[in-house]
Amino acid sequence: MRVVILGSGRGSNAEAILQAQREGRLGRARVVQIIADRPEARILELGGRFGVPARFLDPGPFKTKFDEAAETRYLDTLRACEPALIVLAGFMRILKPRLLDAFPRTIINLHPSLLPSFPGLDAIGQAWRRGVKVTGCTVHYVTSEVDGGPILDQTAVRIEPEDTLETLEARIHAAEHALLPAVIARLSQAGAGGE
């Protein structure tokens, strides 16, 4: 199963996927391309470390979405990769129907809350400020509703009395690093979109 990872930042979730691949824990999935929407994104450094092509692809002038030319650029690049699965690993852009429709039940996202609770930005901070006792992370299919697609799996993380926002963030990130590769491995056994 050919996998493309899209990211915007440091790439810790992408690194967890690539480490799982290196250790034989990614099932039949193989990462064939890493694409970043920021030229300085540290996710690009993972390509050389793990022997996977990595490139910056111009996202156009907007901060959280693509203009038409950028959307075409991403669409053409993704089609050329022939992915069975596209993983948004800290990719901070909203995908529009044209791109989503080109890859139905192919694009998944990792979100740092137990959806449907706390969608959108700063999900860990939202949960922390609300005072919930349990939060976590979710892997879901991407649809036109932000953080609203069908849920593939979740991991709960209990908020302990001694937690700070920083320790909670670290524990949720650790849960993410286990959950995302496990979901990819499971999808690779079922065939992409096979859940």
Give the tens place of pLDDT for each residue, 21-49. Answer: 999 999 999 999 999 999 999 999 999 99
Residues with Cβ within 8 Å of 80's Cβ and at least 6 positions away in sequence, in order, are: none
CA angle 85, 81, 102 (to 5 degrees): 60
Tell me the torsion sign for CA atoms 160, 165, 167, 168.
positive
Rounded to an integer, what is the distance from CA 53 to the centroid of its chain? 18
Domain count along the chain: 1
Tokens of 79: 């089609």
Tokens of 47: 């390509």
Q: Is the pLDDT of residue 80 over 60?
A: yes
- Residue 142 included in any domain: yes
Q: How far apart are CA 74 and CA 100, in angstroms?
A: 11
> What residues act catalytically?
111
At 93-121, the pLDDT tens digits run 999 999 999 999 999 999 999 999 999 99
- Residue 22 included in any domain: yes
Q: How far apart are CA 128 and CA 166, in angstroms?
A: 10
**Predicted TM-score (pTM) of this structure:** 0.95
- Residue 28 included in any domain: yes
- Residue 104 included in any domain: yes
User: For the chain, how many residues are written?
Assistant: 195
Q: For the purposes of burial, counting CB atoms within 10 Å of the CB of 26, is it exposed (0-12), middle (13-18) or buried (19 or more)?
A: buried
Domain hosting 19: range is: 2-190
- Residue 195 included in any domain: no
To which residue do tokens 């959950």 refer? 179
**What's the CATH code of the domain at 143?**
3.40.50.170
Residues with Cβ within 8 Å of 191's Cβ and at least 6 positions away in sequence, in order, are: 1, 84
